[in-house]
Amino acid sequence: MKSRRRIARLLIGLLALAALDWAAATFLIWTAYGNTAALLTDPTRLSGQHVRLTVTQAGEKPRVPLRLELFAPANAGGFRLAVDYDGHPVELISMPDETRVVAFQSKACFAAAVSNMAEARRALAELGDAMRRGLIWQRIGLSILPHPVLVKPWPMRIHGPLCWRVALAGGHADIALHDSLPREVQVQGWRATFHRAPLDDHAQLLVAAATARDKEAHHIENTELDRSLAAVLRGMALQFKEVPREPDARRSEGNGSLEIRDGWRVLRLRGKPYDIGFQHGRLLAPNIKRLCDRVVYGVGFYYSIEKGRWFLTDAAQLVERQRPFIAPEYFEELRGLADGAGLPLALVQAANIFPEFFHCSGAAVFGKATKGGTLLHARVLDYMTEVGLQDEAVLMAVERVGARRFVNVSYAGFIGSVTGMNEKQVAIGEMGGRGEGKWDGTPMSFLLRGALENCDTLEQALDYMRTKPRTCEYYYVVSDGKSRTARGVAATPEKFEVVAPGQAVPLLPDPVEDAVLLSAGDRYKHLVRLVRGSYGRIGPEEFKKIIARPVAMRSNLHNAIFEPPTLTTWIAHASRHAPACDQPYRRYTWAELFGEAK
């Protein structure tokens, strides 16, 4: 009996030691994490410092997807930040008289007058704050799943300074004793090293400044550079936050209204072009500002680095280049939207003309393929979930004077359509291809909206799209609930090819009767296989399963299923870290959206 008690006490003691070890290791990890985030919330702590972060992926040929180096001499009146992201080296050099961004791969240099970068500093602090808060599931996972334990109960000299070594499942973390910052983290083939040391020598900054001044620079407004850097940082901060859910509300503006229920937004717009734009802008002003910042300044900055041309300059030129091909009423609507949201018209126009390159799928099934012979039209949008477009998702019910009513699965501030259905039971979705630079035509999203607002039948929609000047290369699925059929379209500025149900073409070699199936590569093969597997039994629930992974990509931003004969819509939007196909769908009837059945 006594021996059992001794064993029990021993086991309890061992469990207590293990728990204490785990608690100490977890405390060290979260302290290091919090201190790293604190450097962002108060970047003055980096003054007089040389900081280097290197991320390496193991393999036969180790890859370095990220290298970051900061030189911030004390009292130098500037700094140098060098970033190499997956082979795209960029430097940001702040000097007493100007700031320059140098993109080495595209050989571009952008120069702006000196500023205190107030917006970027705020965004940096927001990033640090978001990291410190984190998502609760991330904290739980980081505390339990890696099984953190101290390798030794005392610090060891590693990489120079004394460090605590915490063993993790598949790796370890070394945390410096003197500042509680990580020095090395190695987990499952990935290794991140962090170096921090005092810096008194200004030579690195002077050399970088001299090199930057030797390059021919494209001069930009310092406010544009500030907002661009801020948008990039806020995009990074999104990864630590869930998609926000707004409280239930109903607001009105003129003949328009915004209804928010269970986190889902429905925007009802009614009136002349300027009026519906103003309603849109006033009812969704904060959402529109966020979306414009993310697209125009955030994604636009990556465009600038890659192309070597400042995006806002290119966007302004593209607006004027495409103005002859866009109906005047849409520009009037954009003017109303800018006025309602309190934003510059040029910013709103740039966000709406932004070139779209989607990697999507589309499908329409009917007749023998579906339950009861109904027509179902699915649209899978795979596009940039990492920039937070899903945060501003909205279903629009648009009733413009003199045009057909239509529903538009869209985003705040975006008046074109990539996924929509009109009151005449015509539905359209697209997927992108190549052809960048072929801009002399109607932008794709305005082409689709024009077809929805002006066409009563499948044939009319095809004729409308065929006769309009077009841009780039796009593929479409167009369906009509009255005739219960659909067509695929392959379109460039020079050609317009229509694909009938059951028709084989080189890019779609495996047709299915009473179906139009558009996708690419293995996703097309999966789509065909899944449709055949449910053939004759496909209803909305079966269709949701068909357009899930792997037909949808990880970047699946939204999924929509239309049933044009009944004017019913099912929609799902991506969460922060999961594709739309894995999220709950919401069903909407025409009567809910417009107040009457049609």
418 contact partners, CB below 8 Å, separation of at least 6: 356, 358, 379, 381, 409, 410, 429, 430, 444, 445, 448
Structural domains in the chain plus CATH codes? 2-238 (no CATH), 249-594 (3.60.60.10)
Return d(Cα 430, Cα 518) in angstroms, integer: 9
Q: In 3-state terms, the chain is what percent helix, strand and coil (to 5)? A: 40, 30, 30
Q: Are strands 108-113 and 218-219 parallel, antiparallel or unpaired?
A: parallel
Q: Please count the other Cβ atoms lying within 10 Å of the Cβ belonging to residue 594.
A: 18
Alpha-carbon distances, residue 84 vs 43, 66, 68 (angstroms): 20, 6, 6
Q: Are strands 515-518 and 218-219 parallel, antiparallel or unpaired?
A: unpaired
Q: Along the 598 residues of the chain, how does pLDDT read in single tens digits?
A: 677 888 888 888 888 888 888 889 888 988 898 888 888 888 778 888 888 999 999 887 888 888 998 888 877 678 888 999 888 899 998 888 899 999 989 888 999 998 888 999 999 889 888 887 755 566 666 677 777 888 888 899 987 889 999 999 889 999 999 899 999 999 888 999 998 888 766 556 555 555 656 678 899 999 999 999 999 999 999 988 889 999 999 999 999 999 999 999 999 999 999 999 999 999 999 999 999 999 999 999 999 998 899 999 999 999 999 999 999 999 999 999 999 999 999 999 999 987 555 558 899 999 999 999 999 999 999 988 999 999 999 999 999 999 999 999 999 999 999 999 999 999 999 987 776 778 899 999 999 999 999 999 999 999 999 999 999 899 999 999 999 999 999 999 999 999 999 999 999 999 999 999 999 999 999 999 999 999 999 999 999 999 999 999 999 999 999 999 999 999 999 999 999 999 999 999 999 999 854 4
The two three-digit tokens of residue 6, written as one number: 């001794």
The whole-number pLDDT of residue 214 equals: 63
19 contact partners, CB below 8 Å, separation of at least 6: none
Q: What's this model's pTM, rounded to 2 decimal places?
A: 0.91
Burial class (CB in 10 A: 0-12, 13-18, 19+), 203: exposed
Enter the DSSP assignment of 520. -
The whole-number pLDDT of residue 201 equals: 61
Asked if 185 and 197 touch (Cβ cutoff 8 Å), the reply is: no
Enter the DSSP assignment of 472. S
Return d(Cα 277, Cα 336) in angstroms, integer: 4
Taking alpha carbons only, the member of 250, 285, 282 closest to residue 265 is 250
Asked if 185 and 173 touch (Cβ cutoff 8 Å), the reply is: yes
Alpha-carbon distances, residue 422 vs 63, 246, 562 (angstroms): 49, 28, 11
Return d(Cα 420, Cα 486) in angstroms, integer: 14
